[in-house]
Amino acid sequence: MTTPNDPNRVIVFDTTLRDGEQSPGCSMNLNEKLEIAHGLKDLGVDVIEAGFPIASPGDFESVQEIARQVDGPIICGLARCNTADIDRAADAVKHARRPRIHVFLATSAIHREFKLRMSREEILKRAIDGVKRARDQIADVEFSPEDASRTELDFLAEVVERAVEAGATTLNIPDTVGYAVPTHYADIIRHLKKTVRGIDKCVLSVHCHNDLGLAVANSLAALKEGARQVECTINGIGERAGNTALEEVVMALRTRQDYYGLTTGINSRLLLPLSRKLSHATGMQVQRNKAIVGQNAFAHEAGIHQDGMLKNPNTYEIMRPEDIGLSRTELVLGKHSGRHALRQKISDLGYHLSDEQLNKVFESFKVLADRKKDIYDADIEALADTQIHES
């Protein structure tokens, strides 16, 4: 596998096509998955988790096709910790230039007792056997103790150490049910780094769910503690409230390079186009105020903000719209807008009004904006035309 040599380089592991696709309303057909996989490659992700090959013949086929056709990133297939799953995943990814098997097994007491009905000893044995079986077929093996954040810390450390001994090359610590909070998750990562023998030979990875709206914050807290792979999805799609949003974690690292000192291989200018492509493929729209890729993320309506933006965009924007693939910031005209933004819009529409004409248009614009929610260019043109004819 390619572990970037730079210790400050974060590996971006995208699971849009696996954890994302398995959530309600997000399923895609083979062609759509291939298109997204090519988009992820162009974006610069390091690992594509292409699916869960044992889940269905369609899932197997899409992992296999992505492994055959998408050259560049590591292509990964998910498997539970049993022979059939692992062999099926190995078969699906074997044509990839750089294949990976991701083996997972739940470790928390609630999962052991009620889901798996297995003792701690049985879990340890199953984990070791699974990792070994995967390693016998593929050199790059990731192991995940599912529900890690609710697992007793001593047992979690033991399972992880056994997985390292058995040959896991990446150790992923999932917050499967989005239960962790940033300081708690950071404590887990710090504890594992301190106590697990051999952990330095592996890449430590984080995988967060968003049930408390903390997936990105938890991922960043873990990266600050030394994790170097982040698992995420485009638009944050995923089970229940979703997974860590790729675009958010990448832009947080980039915008706050001063704080984290970490980099990724992502070409951020492709974030918005890929976000839109995914929405189109799944039919799942992004909420308007979603960070980075939402329609309002670079839009300003308040007069004070618009005035500041026109004087210097850094007053109210911490990222440049072009850095995420948006041509420019939008100054939305509405009842909160000021004269400066209206003047700019009128000039953009090709009008040259005197100060007096502009004042009159501004007055009629405020009356209109009070009764009309969306103000379009045509509305402004009508107001400007009326004013030109009247004066």
In the complex with Zn ion, which residue's Cβ is closer, 19 or 46? 19
Where would I find the H helices in 236-297? 246-255, 257-260, 271-282
Q: Which does 218 bind (CB under 5 to 8 A by kind): Zn ion, ligand KIV, none?
A: none
Q: Is 178:211 a contact under the CB 8 Å cutoff?
A: yes
Q: How far is the CB of 29 from ligand KIV (least distance, A)?
A: 22
Question: Quick one: tokens of 314?
Answer: 């850094």
Extract long-range pairs of 121-130: CB within 8 Å, 24+ residues apart: 123/159, 124/158, 124/159, 124/162, 126/81, 126/82, 127/81, 127/159, 127/162, 127/163, 127/166, 128/162, 128/163, 128/165, 128/166, 129/81, 130/79, 130/81, 130/82, 130/86, 130/103, 130/105
Q: How far is the CB of 77 from ligand KIV (least distance, A)?
A: 12
243 annotated as a binding-site residue = yes
> From its phi and psi, is residue 198 left (phi > 0), alpha (psi between -120 and 50) or beta?
left
Q: Does 175 bind Zn ion (CB under 5 A)?
A: no
Q: How far is the CB of 203 from Zn ion (least distance, A)?
A: 18
Q: Does 14 bind Zn ion (CB under 5 A)?
A: no
DSSP assigned state of 169: S
Q: How far from the centroid of its chain's Cα atoms is residue 295's Cα? A: 17
19 annotated as a binding-site residue = yes
Q: Which does 146 bind (CB under 5 to 8 A by kind): Zn ion, ligand KIV, none?
A: ligand KIV
Q: How far is the CB of 222 from Zn ion (least distance, A)?
A: 15
Question: Site residues (CB under 6 A) for ligand KIV?
Answer: 19, 104, 144, 146, 172, 174, 176, 207, 209
Strands (DSSP E) found in 53-131: 74-80, 99-106
Q: Is 130:101 a contact under the CB 8 Å cutoff?
A: no
38 annotated as a binding-site residue = no
The residue within the footprint of Zn ion, chosen from 14, 19, 46, 225 (CB under 5 A), is: 19
11-19, 69-77, 296-304, 373-381 -> range binding Zn ion (CB under 5 A): 11-19
Q: How far is the CB of 277 from Zn ion (least distance, A)?
A: 22
Number of chain residues interacting with Zn ion (CB under 5 A): 1
Question: Quick one: tokens of 388?
Answer: 């030109």
Q: How far is the CB of 174 from Zn ion (least distance, A)?
A: 6
Q: Does 21 bind Zn ion (CB under 5 A)?
A: no
209 annotated as a binding-site residue = yes
In the complex with Zn ion, which residue's Cβ is closer, 15 or 268? 15
Please state, as a whole number, how many other Cβ atoms lie within 10 Å of the Cβ of residue 355. 9
Q: Does 140 bind Zn ion (CB under 5 A)?
A: no
Could you tell me which of 197, 258, 260, 257 has the C-alpha nearest to residue 226?
Answer: 260
Q: Which does 104 bind (CB under 5 to 8 A by kind): ligand KIV, Zn ion, none?
A: ligand KIV
Separation of alpha carbons 69 and 64, rounded Å: 9
In the complex with Zn ion, which residue's Cβ is closer, 19 or 225? 19
Q: Which does 205 bind (CB under 5 to 8 A by kind): ligand KIV, Zn ion, none?
A: none
Q: Is 172:231 a contact under the CB 8 Å cutoff?
A: yes
Q: Is 256:264 a contact under the CB 8 Å cutoff?
A: no
In the complex with ligand KIV, which residue's Cβ is closer, 146 or 248? 146
Q: How far is the CB of 58 from ligand KIV (least distance, A)?
A: 19
List contacts with Zn ion (CB under 5 A): 19
Known binding site: residues? 19, 207, 209, 243
Annotated binding site for Mn(2+): 19, 207, 209, 243
